[in-house]
Structure 1
Amino acid sequence: MLRTLRADPHYEPSVIPSNFLGGLTGGLRTLTLATVTLPPFCPALSTVTDLSVSGPLDMEQAVTFTRLFQLFPALESLTLDQLRQELSHHLPRAPAPVSLRKITLETFEGDYDLMEHYLEWRSRTLVDVEIEQIAPSPHSLRPLVDGALELMVGREYAFDRTFFRARGPGWTRGINFCSSGDAAAQSAAMILAVHSALLQVFRIELPSASLCAFLPVVAGLPRLRELTLHTRAGRHVPGSPAHYIGWEGLDLLPELPESIELVIVDIVGGAHACPLSAQDVRDLCSVLARLKHASLPRILVKGFTAEALNAVERSALDGCSVEFEIAVTT
């Protein structure tokens, strides 16, 4: 019995006939297609739980998408990519199947805000949401983050993209969008605009370089107890075992609210051929030593190997008053 069908995404657009797979209800669970024209009815599709398909290319295909939820009543996961705004009004209307737990939506069109579809389809059972688009959506961010307990703000530097990911009891919702200019300030302003939806947040993750812009955000989260700062190890410093690492956010640790109990400094990067070094540890300790008279939360540093830490003088480690979680090398 056929349970999984994945078409080559480079094939010509598919046309699914009503008598697909004999026109009978079977055991098909996973269906992955490129662009497709859907039939008016098709019993073989009624058992599909995982559907991944590109958005319609033209009006002829688009009008068939209005019945997508009727054709796939057992859907648990739906991925729609390459969506086009001019055809968006033909995407299915609510209600979505009660079985639908996950949606992934993607567009490359600059003015197309996919939040409208999430708002149309959302339900208590839809607990995993991922939106990837060009346009930011500051006016409709609230439904994605409302009631979150954890919030992650990140950057994809190579593509000038920002992402927000919110987690609550049993759910995860995220959006990825292009950002220009001062991305940190833009992101902080978007989060501040929905501040009242985030009053339960107890953990937040940020790029270390964004901490300055996010200090007002952090100060306004009354339940915040844990802050993770991600910092990148860039290229190797010529003539030195050290890397270019953005430590600037650490100078702002004394400005954090006293309610924060733990700061995690997560250092990412350091290629296999040029791993983080003992000199990188010394540089970190030098930065933190400047703050030794400040009242700081517990600080946990991730990213250094045992080899790098063991090569550092004990006096340097004792002087920076932090804990290290040893990175495992493979």
Structure 2
Amino acid sequence: MAISRAGQLPIDFEYRRSSSKVPKDLLEAFARNMHRFLTFVFDGDMTTVDFSRPAPLLRKFVYDGWPWAGVIPPDFLGSSIGQLRELHLRAAIFPAVCPALETVRHLRATYPEHRERQGYTPHFDRLFDLCPRLEVLHLHDLEGAAGVELPRGPAPQTLRNVKLNSWWHCDLSQLYTAWQLHSVPDVQLETGLQCSSTIVALVAGALELAMTSDPEDEEKVLIVAHLSNSRNRTFAWDDVRNGCGPAPLLAAVLKDGAAFAQMQALDVPLSALRLALPAARHWPRLAHLTVRIYEYDPFDGDDDEFAQQSDKPPFDIGVPEFRLRWTFLECLRNAPALETLLLKVHMADGSESPSLDDARNLREQLFALSDCIPREVSVYGFPDVVVHALLPGEMDNPRVAFMADNLDG
């Protein structure tokens, strides 16, 4: 056995089970060698292992077994304060008191489902008392409310990275406020679109704000904010295609004037922008605007007029030479005075690239807006043949430059 062959040297140990039962001789080896473990990765049934022995060298403990819960006993690691820094638990069950957790800096835990609790109390409400020196906190599948199933707050002031995930049964914005996470450098929240959480508290004071689809997951919408003092905030709505579409929700966020009085740059889908621009007077410092135009807009809602027509404007799939229409860009007449304007056209997978005629029609639309948009406009998403065929003229107003760079470059 590898444990016994290592003599008395410290051990980085990982156990991946081949059956539901952990061999008896291995359980005995665990008990004899707990004092030697530096890292311990385990996916068996935690309740079958005696974790009451001291582990003074242990720095990282990972449990990701299924279908069992990650049950931490009150006498975990001999109830001794050692060197444990990193703790990862699937379906975590915490004790009310556990001295061995006081040194944990990095905690990643999944809230247990009802069937996984098996009569246990998860004690997630005790997390900040159990781990008062946290620097990184990732909690998944959260349920409940602050001060009930979850910690009342405030969170430890040592936190520098927080990631919270919940589907339907937890208001993450309430946790953000109750835990006083405003000063944490990096905060990420993720929830289902049906969740009624407001995100204004998360992104208020943004200097730069981006509302985009996740390039790695078309079912997810991302809101990324850069705040003062190098703070970053990310809010993700998942499963958007099964909802009503987030454009009205995004627009409602942008209409909160007090929250965006300092906003200097905005990256937003056209479907949300056109609903939000009546509040543009509340964005007095906005100088840089990026507008994303999607062939099949993941932000559209079925109850929004933007999506009620069968051809999904602004893209009119009809006469080939007028396959794209750009009339909804008229909303830019309500935009504040801008220094830069970028348009990014996103075609659906399998669709034909926008054509030279499409580009000419877009340019004509922008010429008609010359009195309310910047002197130069950059457009991304057209093929190279269009970029090279339609160069901006020196006397054009505005000068519309079709760019060959990547959409997300």
- TM bucket normalised to smaller: 0.7 to 0.9
What is the aligned residue count?
319
Greater length-normalized contact order (CA 8 Å, ≥ 6 residues apart): 1
Q: 1:188 to 1:233 in 2, by over 3 A?
A: closer
Shift of 1:302: 2.7
Q: 1:231 to 1:242 in 2, by over 3 A?
A: farther
Q: 1:246 to 1:205 in 2, by over 3 A?
A: farther
**Counterpart in the other structure of 1:290:** 365
Shift of 1:154: 4.0
Contact 1:234–1:244 (8 Å) recurs in 2: no
Q: 1:239 to 1:120 in 2, by over 3 A?
A: closer
**Equivalences for residues 306-325 of structure 1 within 5 A:** 306=384, 309-310=387-388, 312-314=389-391, 321-325=399-403
What residue ranges of structure 2 are gaps of 5+ in the alignment? Answer: 1-37, 40-58, 298-314
What residue ranges of structure 1 are gaps of 5+ in the alignment? Answer: none
Shift of 1:24: 4.4
**Counterpart in the other structure of 2:123:** 64
**What is the identity, as a one-letter code, of the residue corresponding to 1:150?**
E
Task: Give RMSD over aligned pairs.
Answer: 3.9
Q: 1:246 to 1:155 in 2, by over 3 A?
A: farther
Contact 2:392–2:401 (8 Å) recurs in 1: no
Q: 1:181 to 1:95 in 2, by over 3 A?
A: closer
TM-score (norm 1): 0.78
Contact 2:384–2:404 (8 Å) recurs in 1: yes
Query: Take 1:125 and 1:302, find their aligned partners in 2: how far apart are those partners?
Result: 36
Given the alignment, which residue of 84, 99, 106 partners 2:165? Answer: 106
Q: 1:229 to 1:174 in 2, by over 3 A?
A: same
**Counterpart in the other structure of 1:48:** 104
Q: 1:213 to 1:206 in 2, by over 3 A?
A: same
Given the alignment, which residue of 223, 237, 253 partners 2:332? Answer: 253
Q: 1:234 to 1:282 in 2, by over 3 A?
A: farther
Identity %: 28
Contact 1:188–1:217 (8 Å) recurs in 2: no
Q: Is 1:215 matched with 2:277?
A: yes
Shift of 1:94: 2.0
Q: Deviations over 1:181-233 (max 9, x none)?
A: 574334323432x3112111111121122232121132321111111111235
Given the alignment, which residue of 237, 240, 247 partners 1:184? Answer: 247
Given the alignment, which residue of 322, 344, 359 partners 1:266? Answer: 344
**Counterpart in the other structure of 2:86:** 30
Q: Is 1:39 matched with 2:123?
A: no
Q: 1:303 to 1:237 in 2, by over 3 A?
A: same
Larger radius of gyration: 2
Shift of 1:239: 11
Q: Which secondary structure does the structure 2 equivalent of 1:172 belong to?
A: strand
